[in-house]
Chains A and B, each alone.
Chain A
Amino acid sequence: MTAQTETRTRPVKVIAIVCNWCSYAGADGAGTARLKQPYNFRVLRVPCTGRIDPLLALKAFQKGADGVLISGCHPGDCHYSEGNYYARRKFELLDRMLPHLGVESQRFKYTWVSASEAARWQSVITEFVGHVQELGPREGRAL
């Protein structure tokens, strides 16, 4: 195996930034239910998706993330009542801009997983990591 194909096939690294109240608890629920998930994602807990500056997602790509997932409470269910509404606008713009910043659209996703949606967490993270793995590791020069 050449060094180049090795880089292409190494497991991708995915950062999942999730809100404490819904998606983190949803991921906990998936664990409690022993729902199998991919190995190569790491979860970062914040109080609310409204806390997440889109620049942090860009920072993660810059630092070598192959994919970034943002997940919070469903609109209307935000623990702080409004955080995910602000987040929705910001991440929609980021989502639309990333392909133009040299990051394939499937490397970024923002979504909503409630505390009771353990199975949804499993499918969201499994699909997302799967898509990122299909694209392989990123070798961006700009980001």
Chain B
Amino acid sequence: MRIGVFVCHCGSNIAGTVDCHAIAERAAELKDVVYTEDVMYTCSEPGQAGIQRAIKEKGLTRVVVASCSPQMHEVTFRRCVEDAGLNPHLFEMANIREHCSWIHDDMPRATEKAYDIIKMAVAKVRTAEPLFPNEVDVNKDVLVIGGGVAGIQTALDLADAGLQVTIVERESTIGGTMARLDKTFPTIDCSACILTPRMVDAAHHQNIAIMAYSEVDRVQGYVGNFVVDIKRRAAMVDWTRCIGCELCVQKCPAHAPDRFNVGLAESKAIYIPFPQAVPKRAVIQTEYCRWFQQGKCRVCSRVCPADAIDYEQKDTYIQRNFGAIVVATGMDVFPWEEYYPQYGGGSIPDVISGLQYERMLNASGPTGGHVHRISNHEEPKNVVFIQCVGSRDESVGRPYCSSVCCMYTAKQAILTRNHCGPETNIFVFYIDIRATGKGYEEFIKRAQTEFNVNYVRGRVSKLYEEHGKVMVRGMDTLLGQQVEIPADLVVLATGTTSAEGAPQLAQALNISYDEFGFFKESHPKLRPVETNTAGVFLAGACQAPKDIPTSVAQASGTASKVLGLLSKDKLKTSPQIAVVDQSRCVSCWKCTDVCPFSAPEKQSQRDGSQKSHIIETVCQGCGICVATCPVNCISLKGFTTDSIIDQIEEALLA
């Protein structure tokens, strides 16, 4: 074994505190070390060439570079030694910059410490073994979970690039939250006019399959080879026959709350959320259906011209294979009624959520686009908007900014002016205005000036009914006085919250989520659409509250990451994984208990016994099994127990 040690000055970053020349000379005394050198910048082109030259000329078989953090340059140097003919895993880094020179200033002591760190790295590289990555075939099909605008965008981008995409959507139609919006800020263009053509594009795209009214049930496998069980919920309507004619909806005698219109109207037990639904297929909501509840009716079955009604339908499960998964499950509206008793908790009819108002403003909505009070259907004279309901409010456990409410409130205020005319007074209670997007600040200004919307800085402390009005009591913090406004209609700028069931989905996908249920990206700046589970990506508001432009931009970014991944026919897997010495395995199966990835399997032996075997391509290299195996017959390549003990011994050796 011939080890070379290269000590980097990193200019003065290391050499300013550590005597690099002295420790390079001392390192030559270590067992198996045959060559040492101190170098100004090891990572530079001449620095790397020097390492490669030494490997060839001095016949080095292992290399230690003492420089910065392995998180900075391990990849660089592994490639460097590999190019010189060494296995990249016969290389070790000693971090004498972040963990030494930068945190100390006394040169003798820092030098002593740096030398210890080098000793530990030499001890580790001495036990190193050449490692080789595995290659696995890649399935190029992509699963997109969620058919909102982000999911649709990712799917279209991927499908246009030639990949087969399946969109799994929980509702009976794709479209997501955007389908329920009236207009979009800051352009006031019609939401449906932008979205519905994209929905149709997705439906007609030969590379896209839409599985609506379906949910991801279980995810197994790993990047390039996911196996996903999808549950297709029973619609009680045979969708291969249904033509979306809505005859059943017209004739259905049973009423049900209209979820699409957020309770502002009633729908029928048999249901198509909106006329532009994609796919446009009916679903029986069995909890409201007379046949399911009372055992009589069957009107829909009689009127259906396509003979599509199937009261016996059951949930079905199908299994599909995918190479990558994009999570685009969007968000929900904050359930303000549960958290804001001071705003009536939902008991005051003329206090409505932002999304309800969105439906009211919509020409194809329940009021035909007519703004009126819920209580008496009169046109409101005083409309009050209250911002940050369920956002930036730690008292309701939502410290974050929902990022869209300032803008949609301004939009709704402008639309109110358009709908109700100049006589109506419009007030907006706000904490701060957040208008950071392109054209956003100008949009707010227009609302204030051109559309005469009164912005009042302050929180509303209480809403209560008096003489047929909703009294809005709050503080104008700029004037420093209490204000009270008798409102006809109060619209709450309800914040966004993570989609229902998000934590459960995260657990199925083995991705992280934050305390609010939003999914965690791999790195907030450098890997914003990846998750820490290879092959699982994020798009849209499931990661954090986002507006439409940001969601769409991120969705396309996600698509490009997926394309990058799936542009290869084979994927290299990390060789730093666990391996079982089957001759020592006692078949206690603790490894199978603890592995988060189901990597250990029972492998039959010639003598009929079973021993643990770790599936190379499934193992993620965490080493939980290694620490659990009582006989220590599982070793983690690159982090063996002996290498850890050797490092401990070196560190403690005087």
**Chains A and B are bound partners:** yes
A-side residues, CB < 8 A to B, are 13, 15, 17, 24-25, 27-28, 30-32, 34-37, 39-40, 42-48, 50-53, 56, 59-60, 63-65, 76-77, 79-83, 86-87, 90
A interface footprint on B45-75 (CB within 8 Å = 1, 0 otherwise) = 0000000000000000000000001111000
- Report the bound CA distance from A64 to B641 in whole Å: 18
Contacts of B102 in A (CB 8 A): 31-32, 34
Q: What is the distance, in angstroms, from A32's C-beta to the closest C-beta of chain B?
A: 6
Q: What is the distance, in angstroms, from B113's C-beta to the closest C-beta of chain A?
A: 6
18 inter-chain pairs at a CB distance below 8 angstroms, sorted by A residue, are A13-B652, A31-B99, A35-B103, A36-B103, A42-B116, A43-B95, A43-B99, A44-B648, A47-B576, A50-B623, A51-B624, A51-B636, A52-B627, A53-B626, A53-B632, A63-B648, A77-B512, A79-B532
- Report the bound CA distance from A46 to B624 in whole Å: 11
Interface pair A31/B69, CB less than 8 Å apart: yes
Task: Pick the residue among B98, B120, B639, B641 that contacts A31 (CB under 8 A).
Answer: B98
Q: Does B191 contact A (CB under 8 A)?
A: no
Q: What is the distance, in angstroms, from B440's C-beta to the closest C-beta of chain A?
A: 29
Contacts of B626 in A (CB 8 A): 51, 53
| Beyond known contacts A28-B95, A39-B112, A80-B620: 5 more, CB 8 A cutoff | A15-B651, A39-B109, A76-B512, A83-B596, A86-B627
Given contacts A37-B103, A45-B70, A56-B644, contact A31 B512 (CB under 8 A): no
Given contacts A31-B103, A45-B70, A77-B512, contact A56 B648 (CB under 8 A): yes
A interface footprint on B363-404 (CB within 8 Å = 1, 0 otherwise) = 000000000000000000000000000000000000000000
Interface pair A30/B651, CB less than 8 Å apart: no
Interface pair A30/B103, CB less than 8 Å apart: yes
Interface pair B117/A82, CB less than 8 Å apart: no
Given contacts A39-B113, A50-B627, A51-B622, contact A44 B641 (CB under 8 A): no
Contacts of A31 in B (CB 8 A): 69, 97-100, 102-103
Instruction: Tell me the number of A-to-B contacts counted with CB atoms below 8 Å.
Output: 125
Interface pair B624/A80, CB less than 8 Å apart: yes
- Report the bound CA distance from A50 to B624 in whole Å: 5
Task: Pick the residue among B99, B576, B624, B632 that contacts A83 (CB under 8 A).
Answer: B624
Q: What is the distance, in angstroms, from A93's C-beta to the closest C-beta of chain B?
A: 13
Q: What is the distance, in angstroms, from A100's C-beta to the closest C-beta of chain B?
A: 22
- Report the bound CA distance from A83 to B621 in whole Å: 11
Count class of interface residues, chain B:
35 or more
Contacts of A51 in B (CB 8 A): 622-624, 626-627, 636, 639
Task: Pick the residue among A25, A32, A65, A81 that contacts B510 (CB under 8 A).
Answer: A81
Q: What is the distance, in angstroms, from B530's C-beta to the closest C-beta of chain A?
A: 13
Task: Pick the residue among B95, B104, B648 that contacts A59 (CB under 8 A).
Answer: B648
Contacts of B100 in A (CB 8 A): 31
- Report the bound CA distance from A52 to B112 in whole Å: 27
Q: What is the distance, in angstroms, from B371's C-beta to the closest C-beta of chain A?
A: 45
Given contacts A28-B98, A63-B648, contact A83 B120 (CB under 8 A): no
Interface pair A82/B624, CB less than 8 Å apart: yes
Interface pair B636/A15, CB less than 8 Å apart: no
Contacts of A37 in B (CB 8 A): 103-104
Interface pair B110/A39, CB less than 8 Å apart: yes
Interface pair B622/A48, CB less than 8 Å apart: yes
Contacts of B71 in A (CB 8 A): 24-25, 28
A interface footprint on B597-624 (CB within 8 Å = 1, 0 otherwise) = 1000000000000000000000011111
Residue of A nearest to B630 (CB): A53
Interface pair B623/A44, CB less than 8 Å apart: no
Interface pair A56/B103, CB less than 8 Å apart: no
Contacts of B620 in A (CB 8 A): 80
- Report the bound CA distance from A107 to B98 in whole Å: 25
- Report the bound CA distance from A64 to B597 in whole Å: 36
- Report the bound CA distance from A40 to B100 in whole Å: 11
Contacts of B644 in A (CB 8 A): 17, 44, 46, 56
Given contacts A37-B103, A53-B627, A56-B644, contact A42 B97 (CB under 8 A): no
Q: Does B310 contact A (CB under 8 A)?
A: no
Residues in B508-537 with C-beta less than 8 Å from chain A? 510, 512, 532
Residue of A nearest to B533 (CB): A81
Contacts of B112 in A (CB 8 A): 39
Most buried by A among B100, B105, B622: B622
Contacts of A63 in B (CB 8 A): 648-649, 652
Interface pair A36/B104, CB less than 8 Å apart: yes
- Report the bound CA distance from A18 to B512 in whole Å: 20
